[in-house]
Amino acid sequence: MAETEKPRWLELISNFLLREPEDREQLIEQLHSAYEKNLLDADALSMIEGVLQVSEMQVRDIMIPRSQMDVIDITDAPEKFIPFVIEAAHSRFPVIDDDKNHVIGILLAKDLLRYYAGEDFDVRDMLRPAVFIPESKRLNVLLKEFRSNRNHIAIVVDEYGGVAGMVTIEDVLEQIVGDIEDEYDFDETEDNIIRDAQGRYRIKALTEIADFNEALGTQFSDEEFSTIGGLVVSKFAHLPKRGEQISFDGLHITVLRADSRRLHSMLVEIQAKPESAIE
């Protein structure tokens, strides 16, 4: 029996070596094959694909644009910017000198405890050096630098030296361990609003409130918020995470995708009116 099994195992090993992937596409095919055979679970497959993707992506692909950066102006008094820091709830903030093109350092939110401790407080003394990187830097290289330098945030500059945006270590890691694609993941589709077979609506957070009203028959004002995402975040009173739910004005909303910086998409259900409210 042993003599017949030995050649069989040698044959299996040989066949495996002969099927060694020659390019990225073949490697991904083998990974999916391993998943289908229950050798990998969905989380492991997603993370491996994320690692492969990160090696080909550049900072410009995931950076937070300059217009969306939450910053602190060095000329503002602590009592003016601390409420903003609490509301934004980030751990680190770029500090500018009047203009976002002039980032002079990074302020750690925890350093503001010294202000409440009654110590002599000068924001300039609290600043950590800002790290500047080009838009073209690959994410795998940036992640290695983040780890080796123990840095968590970098300011992205364009080819002319102007500030183009910022990126954090969380932004990079989310490309690896972020949301696993499922039936609700439609960020790559062109439509902002998709109605499913159950009558629910999958909606991107950047959908204009006017378009949302037209599709769902609602009458939300767009004076304070221009997008439905802004309105929903205001109802939560914090940046929600995936799976969080909220109901208001006859709608039940479930967050489908969100990261540490913004809400991306949601599932909206129109709640039936109670019979007593139906004439």
Which of the two residues, 139 and 23, has the higher pLDDT score?
139
Which of the two residues, 13 and 132, has the higher pLDDT score?
132
Task: Note the pLDDT tens digit of each residue in 51-85.
Answer: 887 888 899 988 988 888 899 999 999 889 998 88
pLDDT at res. 189:
53
Other CB atoms within 10 A of residue 218 CB = 15
193-270: CATH class: alpha beta
Please indicate whether the domains covering 60-177 and 193-270 agree at the CATH topology level: no
pLDDT at res. 92:
93
60-177 CATH: 3.10.580.10
- pLDDT band for 260, please (50, 70, 90 cuts): low
| Rounded Cα distance, 268 and 255, in Å | 9
- pLDDT band for 183, please (50, 70, 90 cuts): very low
Q: Are 90 and 108 in contact (CB under 8 A)?
A: no
**Closest C-alpha to 178, from 272, 241, 249:** 241
| Rounded Cα distance, 219 and 189, in Å | 26
Tell me the residue type at 212. F
Task: Note the pLDDT tens digit of each residue in 3-44.
Answer: 444 445 455 444 444 455 567 777 778 888 888 888 877 777
Write 105-111 long-range contacts (CB < 8 A, 24+).
105/129, 105/130, 106/130, 106/153, 107/72, 109/85
For the chain, the domains span: 24-56, 60-177, 193-270
Please give the average per-residue pLDDT across 196-210, as a whole number: 89
| Rounded Cα distance, 112 and 252, in Å | 38
Which of the two residues, 37 and 261, has the higher pLDDT score?
37
pTM strictly above 0.85: no
Specify the range with the lowest mean pLDDT, choosing from 45-49, 164-168, 186-190.
186-190
**What is the pLDDT of the chain when averaged over all its residues?**
82
CA distances, 60 to each of 51, 52, 141, 156, 172 (Å)? 17, 17, 14, 8, 12
H or E element in which residue 257 lies:
strand 251-258
Task: Note the pLDDT tens digit of each residue in 155-164.
Answer: 999 988 899 9
Please give the average per-residue pLDDT across 114-118, as a whole number: 80
Name the token pair of 130: 């800002």
Phi/psi at 34 (nearest 5 deg)?
Answer: -65, -40
First to last CA, the chain: 81
The helix/strand/coil state of 182 is coil
Q: Are 108 and 86 in contact (CB under 8 A)?
A: no
